[in-house]
Amino acid sequence: MDNLSATRAVAKALRRGFDSSFVFFLVLAVGSGLACWLLRGPETMWQSLVEDADMLSFLLPKLAAAAAVSAMVPILLPREVVARWLGESSGVRGVVIASAAGSVMPGGPITSFPLVAALQAAGTGRQTLIAFLTAWSVLGIQRILVWELPLMGSEFVIVRVLVSFELPLIAAGIALLAIRFADARKGEIAGEDK
Amino acid sequence: MDEITILLWVLALVCGIVVWRKHGDAAASVFPQAVRTFVGFLPRLVLALLAAGFISKLVPADAVADLIGKDSGLGGVLIASFIGGFVPGGPIISFPIVVVLRDAGTGPAQLIAFLTAWSVLAIHRVLIYESTLMGWRFSALRLGSSVVLAPLAGCGAMLLYTILQ
């Protein structure tokens, strides 16, 4: 990529960064800042700004590394590979594999949902997809490393992971019961029609 | 520099070496993509931090501690689960909120319920991605199967913290 197109790409990303949610947060930040100034005094407001600067300088080096890793993951772990893991196994084994795959799958919803949608179209069980999505959102290793561990400390992370690692299985189990129940009722109604 | 930063950069370096050695042709796209991601979320992160910082000075800590503090028990876990389910946006937004809640006196088990509800229910994700790509029936099934997860995690955490003490 030459310099000009690289500059353009960065400019485009900057524009994306300043979208409608940016305006929302701008209003929120300015509004709460004003309220802070008026209700708690200017010193408190400046104090808050200093704390924010500390937090930002603490987070930025981590987020830069995370951005680099996220850029490489699609190359190292192509969507097709994860799809193969999930598509080939079913039953309890499938749910367990889906949970494990979900927690190592990095990236935001833009990466994960097309994969899950493709698997749904290919006929993967809904309980398997629910286990994957639950593990991806609750146990995602990337989010734990970048956000939770630095901000909340290791004890919090350990307790949360300990009480959460069975959640994908519980969600999948409830989903499976609901699917069975719905199928059984459909069967009954079809039976009455005959 | 703290250990986690070093760990993350070592991870990035290892990934970089593997990409370089095994997928040389794709390596050129990594840097611009990483810069795009980084620059893309920076403005919102700065504002979310500013807003969270100001709001933490405005929120009366006593009220938070009463509602979802360490001693708020199951009621606090349920309230935290409910609030967490309605927080829109990714970690850029939710983690500044979590830090504010913690500093205002929210109990750790209640924070775990909040985080679990936010990550599992994720209203914004359902509206933008899930319902459009997977259909509402799938979203309804997943949400229905996930409603109990946050209170469950919160209760589990309460139990664990009691044992640990």
Does the beta-carbon distance from B133 to A117 stay under 8 Å? yes
Neighbour-count burial of B32, counting CB atoms closer than 10 A to its CB (0-12 exposed, 13-18 middle, 19+ buried): middle
Gap between the Cα atoms of A107 and A82, Å rounded: 13
Does the beta-carbon distance from A137 to B119 stay under 8 Å? yes
- Spell B122-141 as b/e; 16+ CB within 10 A means b: beebbeebbeebbeeebbeb
Query: What letter does residue B106 receive in the DSSP assignment?
Result: B
Does the beta-carbon distance from A17 to B40 stay under 8 Å? yes
Measure CA A189 to chain center.
39
CB contact B137 to A (< 8 Å) = no
Gap between the Cα atoms of B98 and A111, Å rounded: 25
Does the beta-carbon distance from B142 to A133 stay under 8 Å? yes
| Coil vs helix vs strand at B69 | strand
What's the complex ipTM? 0.86
Gap between the Cα atoms of A19 and B87, Å rounded: 19
Gap between the Cα atoms of B97 and A192, Å rounded: 53
Does the beta-carbon distance from A171 to B141 stay under 8 Å? no
Mutate which of B18, B121, B149 to test chain A, going by most A C-beta atoms within 10 A?
A: B149
Note the pLDDT of residue A142: 83
Mutate which of A25, A79, A126, A129 to test chain B, going by most B C-beta atoms within 10 A?
A: A25
Does the beta-carbon distance from A172 to B38 stay under 8 Å? no
- Work out the average pLDDT over B62-82: 91
Chain A residue with minimum CA distance to B154? A163
- The DSSP code sequence of A66-123 is HHHHHHHHHHHS-HHHHHHHHHH--HHHHHHHHHHHHHH--S-HHHHHHHHHHHHHTT
Query: What letter does residue B24 receive in the DSSP assignment?
Result: G
Chain B residue with minimum CA distance to A61? B5
- First-last CA distance in chain A: 67
Note the pLDDT of residue A34: 94
Neighbour-count burial of A184, counting CB atoms closer than 10 A to its CB (0-12 exposed, 13-18 middle, 19+ buried): exposed
Q: Which positions in chain A touch B53 (Cβ < 8 Å)?
A: 48-49, 51-52, 55
Closest by Cβ to B49, choosing from A56, A61, A72: A56
Gap between the Cα atoms of B151 and A99, Å rounded: 20
Does the beta-carbon distance from B30 to A72 stay under 8 Å? yes
Cα–Cα distance list, B123 to A26, A177, B83, B88, B90 (Å): 21, 24, 12, 6, 11
Closest by Cβ to B5, choosing from A61, A67, A69: A61
- Work out the average pLDDT over B22-47: 86
Cα–Cα distance list, A70 to A88, A145, B18, B36, B91 (Å): 26, 13, 14, 11, 15
pLDDT higher than 90, residue B100: no
Lowest mean pLDDT among A167-171, B45-49, B113-117: B45-49
Note the pLDDT of residue B122: 82
Contacts of B104 (CB under 8 A, 6+ apart): B56, B59, B61, B64, B65
Are B148 and B85 within 8 A, CB to CB?
no
Gap between the Cα atoms of B33 and A82, Å rounded: 21
Note the pLDDT of residue A14: 64
Chain A residue with minimum CA distance to B146? A171
pTM: 0.85
**Better-predicted residue by pLDDT, B149 or B26:** B149
The predicted-structure confidence for A102-120, as pLDDT tens digits, reads as follows: 998 877 787 788 888 888 8
Phi/psi at B69 (5° precision): -75, -175
| Coil vs helix vs strand at B147 | coil
Does the beta-carbon distance from B138 to A170 stay under 8 Å? no
Residues of chain A whose pLDDT is less than 50? 1
Does the beta-carbon distance from B144 to A174 stay under 8 Å? yes
User: Min CA distance, A194 vs chain B (Å)?
Assistant: 27
Note the pLDDT of residue A139: 94
Lowest mean pLDDT among A74-83, A129-138, B72-81, B126-135: A74-83
In chain B, residues 66-95 whose CB comes closer than 8 Å to chain A: 89-91, 93, 95
